[in-house]
């Protein structure tokens, strides 16, 4: 295993671990996930997993990454049915869902096409999930935590570092994932800095006798 494979493996481990604080936060009621967002991400993740598994050129790292992107949002979406936001679905969220369905349909039709088009369609579907969450954390930063998003950002940056041949086709997806997750991390961190929330309350404070999430 060369250094790029090792970096890629670490990237997958960090990305996979990002689900742990998020799931625990949902269970404790300190994170209120957007149901539409995670439904779209589940559809995107499962679609990516199916096509990656079917591609004979996919390596173990790629399959592992696709598996993580399918399992993590699916687990969270299932939890949203139990503890997700109970507010009515907004018009913007309905529009995002429609655009995501169209983008995924076009992606399925063009996934074997050369060039950036399939990747850009997948990113468009992903953006439809990301925008409602960005809007939510900007309006209600107290109802989410930056831990999972920070892990996902680090995992995406490591994925970039693990690319052996840098080109537009290989860079566009991990760069988007890193930048996109930052749009969620920044308002969550800014809120906690602005309100002088102690850093010890951003982490799992095991020694205090209770678990406090990021």
Decide if 214 is inside a domain.
Answer: no
How many domains, in total, are found in the chain? Answer: 1
Residue 208 predicted with pLDDT over 60: no
* pLDDT tens, residue by residue, 11-50: 888 988 888 888 988 888 888 888 888 999 999 989 888 8
Per the domain annotation, does 76 fall within a domain?
Answer: yes
Q: How far apart are CA 111 and CA 192, in angstroms?
A: 41
Q: Is the pLDDT assigned to residue 177 strictly greater than 60?
A: yes
Let me know if residue 201 belongs to a domain: yes
Question: 196 in the Ramachandran plot: left (φ > 0), alpha (ψ -120 to 50) or beta?
Answer: left
- Whole-angstrom Cα distance, residue 137 to residue 194? 15
pTM for this prediction: 0.82
Domain with 86 in it? 3-208
Per the prediction, the chain carries an average pLDDT of: 83
- The answer to whether residue 213 sits within a structural domain is no
pLDDT tens string 127-175: 999 998 999 899 988 888 888 898 899 998 998 888 877 877 778 888 9
Q: Which of 131, 107, 101, 105 is nearest to 119 (CA)?
A: 107
User: For residue 171, what pLDDT is reported?
Assistant: 84
Flag whether 121 is in a domain.
yes
Domain presence at residue 188: yes
CA distances from 115 to 50, 110, 111 (A): 20, 10, 10
């Amino acid at each position: 295993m060369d250094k790029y494979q090792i970096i890629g493996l670490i990237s997958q481990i960090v990305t996979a671990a990002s689900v742990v604080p998020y799931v625990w936060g949902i269970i404790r009621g300190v994170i209120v996930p957007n149901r539409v967002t995670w439904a779209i991400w589940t559809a995107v993740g499962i679609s990516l997993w199916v096509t990656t598994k079917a591609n004979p050129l996919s390596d173990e790292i790629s399959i592992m990454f696709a598996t993580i992107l399918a399992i993590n949002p699916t687990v969270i979406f299932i939890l949203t049915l139990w503890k997700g936001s109970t507010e009515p679905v907004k018009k913007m969220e309905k529009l995002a869902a429609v655009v995501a369905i169209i983008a995924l349909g076009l992606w399925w039709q063009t996934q074997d096409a050369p060039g950036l088009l399939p990747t850009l369609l997948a990113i468009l579907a992903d953006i439809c999930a990301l925008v409602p969450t960005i809007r939510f954390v900007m309006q209600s930063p107290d109802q989410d935590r930056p831990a999972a998003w920070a892990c996902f950002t680090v995992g995406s940056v490591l994925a970039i570092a693990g690319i052996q041949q840098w080109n537009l086709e290989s860079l566009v997806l991990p760069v988007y994932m890193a930048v996109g997750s930052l749009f969620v991390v920044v308002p969550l961190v800014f809120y906690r800095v602005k309100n002088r929330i102690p850093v010890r309350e951003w982490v799992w404070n095991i020694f205090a006798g209770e678990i406090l999430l990021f």
